[in-house]
Amino acid sequence: MVIEFSPMVQAGLTKTEFAAILGITRVTVHRWIEDSKEPTPYLRTAVDNLLRTLQEAVEKGLLPGQLAELSPSRHTMDERREIIDAAIAEVKR
């Protein structure tokens, strides 16, 4: 079953940011998206949960929000991650 990564895109996350939240490499996320590879069952659950959380954050207007104002770069990485983490925490409340 192919994973739909549109919530990641709608939320404004990069592959690198998505991977960092899961504690995996950007290359792994790239393979899932571009090569239609499947994550292991353990990671599949984590991916599905994160995508649901991101979708809810988008629906609540928490993302992309301020994230859209910060282009992804090494200079904004920490700021972007703070916004992402805050949105995820708000959804999980």
Q: How far apart are CA 78 and CA 48, in angstroms?
A: 24
Provide the 10 A C-beta neighbour count for residue 48.
Answer: 12
pLDDT tens-digit map of 49-67: 999 999 999 999 999 999 9
- pLDDT of res. 84: 98
Say yes or no to pLDDT of 1 above 90.
no
DSSP string, 4-67: --HHHHHHT--HHHHHHHHTS-HHHHHHHHHS-----HHHHHHHHHHHHHHHHHHHTT-SSGGG
- The answer on pLDDT for 36 being more than 90 is no
Cis? peptide before 41, omega within 30° of 0? no
